[in-house]
Each structure stands twice: as C-alpha cells, then as structure tokens.
Structure 1
C-alpha cells in the first residue's frame, strides 16, 4: 500500500510539471493583437527584417518587456512566481529565483546575500572568477583550501572532508563555506557530510553547481546540492539542463536565509528588462527535465560510457572518469564529462582542441595542458560521438612533435593572500614587467578560459612559480583573459 501511494505521488508530481505557465503565457501574449508602444524597439516582428530572417518571426514576437499579464521578475507575483515555484519543486528547494545573466549572477547574489564586508568565507582555490569578483563586490575575506590534485591529469579535483575540518578548526569565525559540485571535470566531494559538519558549526554552505544542473534528474548521477541540504546553490540550466545560454537559477534551501535580502541583491545585479526568452526557456527546460530527463540522461550516460570504451582503444589517449573515485576529495564523479587525456600523443590539450575544430569540425568544451574535455548532454547524438572518436583516431596517427608533453610538469599553486580582493582591486596600481613581479601583490585577475579559474587574483602574492606557469600557458597558446595587458608582458600590481 505504501509503495502504491509513493508511486501515485510521483505521478502527481510529474503531471504538475507538464505545466509551463511562463512559456505558455508568453505565447498567448504574443498571439494577441496588442498595439505596442513600449520597448523593445523592434516591436515584435515589425521593425527589423534581417532579425526576422535569421531568428524567425515567432522568436522576435516573444522578445517582450514586462506587462501586467507577464509579471515582473524584480517582484514576481504572478506567472513568473508560479514558474519559479515549479522550478524550486523540481530541485527540492524552498525557493528558486530566475537568473538571466548566468550562474555568475547567481554566485554574486548568493555571496552578497550572506557576507558583510570583512566576513570570512572558506573556499577552494579552483573557483570560477565570478567568486573572486563577488568578493571584490562584497568585501569578503577568502580563506583558501588547496583542493586535491591529480598529477597524471594536471588538474585540481575537489575538497576532502579532512582538509575542511582542519580549516574550520583554524577559522571558527568563518561565515560560510563555498564549494563546487561538481568541478569542471566532474569531481564531487562528500557534500552531504561537509554540509553536516558546517551546519554543526553554524556555517552556511553555498554551492556553485554550474555544471551539475542535471544531477537531480537521474539516480546514477551525483547527488545535488539541495539533496545534500546545502543552504544555497547556483545552477546553470543552460549548461546541462537544456535552457538557453545565460539562463540559470539561484536555489535557496534554508529557511534561515533572508529571501527578501536575496531578492534585493538579485535586483541590484539583474536588468529591470530581464529577457523573457531566457526566463521562459527555464520554464520549458524544467518541464522537460521532469518529464523526459530520466530517459535523456540515461541515454547521455550510455553514450558517455560508449565513447569512453571506444576512445580508450586509441593509441596515446585515455578517458578518465570513475578512476578519479580512488582520489582523495572525490566521492562521486559525473561520467557525462569526458576528461580525455592526450599527453601521450606529445600534443597539448590546447593543440588537440584546435585540431578538432579546424580540421574536423568538432567542438569540445575546453583544452588544457594535458587534456580536452568533451561534454555528453541531453542533446548529444551518437553520430556526433562517433565523429569525435573518428577524429581522435586520425589525430592519434598523425606525426607528433619531438617535445615530450610528459616532461612539462604542472605545479599546483596556492598563492598567499596579502590583501582582500576588494582592497587590492581598489588600490593604487602600477604596471610592471611580468618577470619583475616576484613578491609583488597582484592587482588584477589572470586566467585561462575556459574554465575561467584565476591563476592569480587581486590581493595575492606573485611568486616565481606563478610567473613560470603564466609563461608556460603563453607558450602553449592557451587563451588567457581578463588581464589589462593583453600580451601579458606586464601585470598590474599594487603600488
């Protein structure tokens, strides 16, 4: 009898997610014969024919501004609120807020909502640049933990419970802990245990779940932040959930979080003309994940396992996924992220990334020194996976360079913090030659993108190791970004 009730509750829950209130209302509004004297200036499909030709008239009609029928994201009371509540239910959160400027906006709002200037926040050093920028905005003080590291892959993994306990003992005045679930390469720590440890100490847990929006919808994937009782998480539904690019959400799971304050900070960061196309895509993506996600993600996982089997037969190439579960700080792995190690080809990941695109019309997510990362998602098809496999096989048989990539050793660097990111960002600065910056305090961020993890951030001491690593990335043709001098011959330092 209990099982029967549980099954029927699941049916009721699923049928509720057939509703798409915002998406449906947007279509209804566009089908009305409304004489528009408001923005946007293209006025549906009436003003810019070239956009109609490229995007289609229906999409142009659906690019609207707020109206009484369509609610307002700055203070949602109608269909936007209804759609946000459905999203919260899908993720088992107390509340959800639509983000139209990506998870970057969600991370900024999350940190600004809980930190006052001078508050400590504990975080791994391999966070996205949006976290550092949030500390500049909030005046928060970072306490970095060195994540576990895989020498073979040359990548940072996630945080171990032991390291977190140690840092918490040393910083019992910290306000929050910030975590990745997962890392860019799919590594997840024991988030449930970490949340429990933090809550026992009255420390909030904030989670960057940019690459884990799909987790709640298939039971062979890692547990989500909300399932692990984290207080807040920011999820990129556009990355792995099927929404349009920049469409994300901020989830709240703790009744002690002041949601009015959260919305206040969201409104400081979000346009008052938030895109209805992006918000409606969140509504549609949520419905699809609840109704079809299990089947689509099962297919994606099977494709990822198929790709791994085939690629591992190619000389000089190896896919690493579940093997990382033997590493400290990794309790779960997202197998849909194919970390493809290519260093035995004597090619860098940057070079393989370029070869795949230029020679084979294959676009992967990123290349780093030793690896490329290919994402298998709900939209991936087998013929594309086969194209990736075939392309890698051809690259494997190409003549490689004489330089052994194995001889290029990547060091894990944990810079020492001298000033808070905010203090350094607003300090008086000067530009110095890169090789003359040893022991100077950095006044800008420098990173390879993707993934957008800073090599050095404002307020950190520049060391010889960091300069060597920057030169290594420059010589390897990595795409470096955010620095003032685009050639990176000089760095901004605190005067």
Structure 2
C-alpha cells in the first residue's frame, strides 16, 4: 500500500508545514479535529515530494496505480477523487470529441449526459426494453446495438451499464466484440460493479470482457471513502497519457490523501480477501431475498429473471425489491422505513426499493429490515389500482444536449411546458437517471410521471427551479 506507507512515514517525521491546508495537521481547527480525530487530520495534507502528485504521478501514486491495474486486470488504473462522475466524464471525453457520436442506453446516470454537454458529443440512444410488471428498465439487446451501429457506422464508442442500478447486466462480451469489429471503443459504467472483479460466480467484469475503459465506484461495494473511484483502461486502442490529460481538465489539483489512501487500502483488501468478502455478501443478500419473498406481495428478484438477452445476467448481491403488489410505491416504502423504523435503504422509485448489502452488514440488521417490511405490509397494504407501473419513458431527442443546455431559454410553469424542448435535467436522485435531459421533448406522459413522482415523495432534482414548479425550455423563434 504505497500511499498508506508514505503517509505513515510522514506522520513519524518532524516536517514543519508551511504549506496548505491551513489547518496545519489539525492544529488550526480544534473543533474539526475533535470531530474527525487527530489521526485523520494529520494526513489531510497537500502534494509534496514524498507523497507524489496526483496530476503527474512519478513515485508512490504511480506505484499504487500499477498495483490497482494489476488487481483489476487493466492496462492502466487512474485514482479518481472527484467521484465516479469524474471517471465517467473523463471516459466519455477521452473517447469522443465535439460532433462525434456515441451509442448508449438512455437509462444512464446523468454524469454521462453531463459529459455530452461538456464535450459536445452526439448521443445515439438505444432505448432499453422494459419489465412492466416490475417497472424497471433492462439491458441493451445485442440486436438493438447492432442496429444502432449499422445506422451510425461513424460512431466512436458504445457505452454499457454493467450493471444497472437494479443489477441487470447486458451481454457485455458480445457487445464489446461487435463494437470492436466496427472500430468503436467500448466504455463500461461499472459504478455498481466493483465486486465483479473480485467475487466468485459474478457477472463478467468490463476488463474481462475486453472493454477499452471502465469507471469503477470503489466507494460503493469496494469499501473506500465516498467520492473515491478508479478509471480503468483496457487494451491498446486507448492512449493512457491522453486519458490523463483529459482527467486533469476537470479533476482537482489538490487530491485528498484521505481519499487516495482509502483507495490504496481498499484495493489491497479486495485483492487479498475479495472472494471471501463477496461470498459473504452474496449469502446475506440471498438470505434476505428468501425471507422477504416469504412475506407475501413483495418480490425480491434475482437470477430467475435472466433471459439471455435484455437480462443477460443479474448481480445477485443487489437486494432489489418490488413493492407494487403491496399497493405502495417504492419511494413510499423507502420513506416509511426511514421515518418510522430508522432504516436507510439506498433508494426508492415508482415501484422498487434497493437495499445495498455489503461486508459491513450483519444478519441482525437484515432481520430488522425483513421485520420492518413485514410490518409495513400489515399496516399500510392497499389496493394497487391506479399506481404508475413504470418509470422509464422513451425520449424524443430533438436537439443535441450541449446545444440545448447553452441555448437561449425561458422558464415556463410545468403544466404549460408540454410540447416544448427541455434545456435542463429532471430526475429522481438516487439513482440519478434523467426523466428529462437537455434537448428532449416534454410530453404529456413525462409531465404526468413527474407529477406522480413528486406526489409520492421522490427526491426530484436537476432543474434551476428547486421546487420544480417551472422548467427551462428552448426559446422559440
């Protein structure tokens, strides 16, 4: 763990800090030091010769990157401290320049579309199939990707979610081989797939499938601190030096050594103990799934959904639970769990909740979740008539995202915006998949969906108007 070792060596030295940060190892901010602890504050330091430099690593960070690349089976690994958002954006900006096309599913995280706004690439959306009973969008079919490639042979890249927030995996190897046959790069958003690299009997990881770049949220299932991630580069088609230049356009020049060391430590932990860790996680998730499915009305789904196409594989560590037959929207169950039972699950949407299971969980806490869900069903169950069955709506993209975002615009009341072209985002967070993105037509169906989600208590975000009573649309004429 080169970064950790360098920090420990620094702590033992008698270096007098006349550099930033100004709290000077915590001595200048006693309240913060009391809260975080002296151990933490003493290693919140700036780049210096013994600690290397994140923007241009030549020593301990370079060595840590090489160890991470080896652990993930990658050609190069970059330490990312601006979150996986930064990794995703760097990946897209490295693959596509202004005006170039990228093929991607529409149910992507907003960070992907943000990259299109920043760089000016043009999206070619492959609308995912839907499971209407569960109300979830699925993976991209190989046939749909082939069609998009055939219609857009000049596209530079194909982006794949591996997996989706719910645990759905596309046929990543086949999509990768198809894209490479047509000279296109393959980018994998693996924000929820860190464990694919280290567990047993997991869906295929991006590097194993031969993708060119993958963004990996170590802080989700990998155990590192929030906001720390890796960007991985695969084969010879991508120049790592150019990727680093792209990363340095947006990533901080003051990389946090708390985040960097957490990546270094977590990488070592997964490389040495990953199989054992994720075997336990899988067992806990299956135990909870079995218990929840015995309650009645809830459906905790898993690998039985696999169909070899839209659901090529499923991440069984995901405890995704459909709530529609209880007569409650997922967000309603989410809120009841939080407000009445002090249980915080990852997210709730129109028809589902996701409870994120990790090595830090215990059977006792899982039993508490199961008991709470059983009691919620007993107390709150109602007729599901009139409930919205699904969340994803195929968009009508009329203007490129960058053009729409920066165009002349005007604010209209939500109910009067139908038929116009949106110039901003509207989404539930999490998961952060846009209901509307810049350049898309606002339809009556979308407006109904937004109102329904607001009514059910989804945390809506994106628009300039924080109350989402108005939307910015392209000015006509």
Closer/same/farther in 2, CA of residues 465 and 64 from structure 1, 3 Å limit:
same
Return 5+ residue gaps in structure 1 as ranges: 1-19
Deviation at 1:38, TM superposition (A): 0.4
Structure 1: distance between partners of 2:335 and 2:308: 30
Structure 1: distance between partners of 2:380 and 2:396: 42
Say whether 1:449 aligns with 2:429: yes
Deviation at 1:412, TM superposition (A): 3.8
Return 5+ residue gaps in structure 2 as ranges: none
Structure 1: distance between partners of 2:415 and 2:441: 14
Deviation at 1:45, TM superposition (A): 2.7
Say whether 1:23 aligns with 2:4: yes
Say whether 1:218 aligns with 2:169: no
Deviation at 1:76, TM superposition (A): 0.3
Provide, for residues 338-395 of structure 1, a one-character-per-residue CA deviation record: whole Å limited to 9, x for no partner.
1111112111111111111111111110001111101111222211111111111111
Say whether 1:181 aligns with 2:169: no
1:367 equivalent in structure 2: 348
Say whether 1:475 aligns with 2:467: no
Aligned residues: 475
Closer/same/farther in 2, CA of residues 405 and 290 from structure 1, 3 Å limit:
farther
Q: Which of 213, 218, 222 is equivalent to 1:237?
A: 218
Structure 1: distance between partners of 2:459 and 2:284: 29
Say whether 1:260 aligns with 2:244: no
Say whether 1:163 aligns with 2:144: yes
1:41-80 → structure 2 map (5 Å cutoff): 41-80=22-61
Structure 2: distance between partners of 1:408 and 1:439: 22
CA contact (8 A) 1:446 1:481 kept: yes
CA contact (8 A) 2:346 2:354 kept: yes
Deviation at 1:409, TM superposition (A): 3.2
SS in 1 for 2:207: coil
Aligned-pair RMSD on alpha carbons?
A: 1.2
Structure 2: distance between partners of 1:458 and 1:117: 16
CA contact (8 A) 1:343 1:406 kept: no
Provide, for residues 203-252 of structure 1, a one-character-per-residue CA deviation record: whole Å limited to 9, x for no partner.
11011100001111112111110000000000000011011000001000
Please report the TM-score for the alignment, with normalisation by the length of structure 1: 0.94
Between stretches 403-412 and 96-105, larger displacement belongs to: 403-412
Closer/same/farther in 2, CA of residues 411 and 363 from structure 1, 3 Å limit:
closer
1:85 equivalent in structure 2: 66
Say whether 1:326 aligns with 2:269: no
Q: Which of 376, 383, 388 is equivalent to 2:369?
A: 388
Deviation at 1:196, TM superposition (A): 0.3
Please report the TM-score for the alignment, with normalisation by the length of structure 2: 0.98
| Stretches of 4+ aligned residues off by more than 6 angstroms | none
CA contact (8 A) 2:171 2:309 kept: no
Provide, for residues 80-124 of structure 1, a one-character-per-residue CA deviation record: whole Å limited to 9, x for no partner.
000011000011000000000111000111111121110000010
Structure 2: distance between partners of 1:118 and 1:98: 29
Deviation at 1:269, TM superposition (A): 0.8
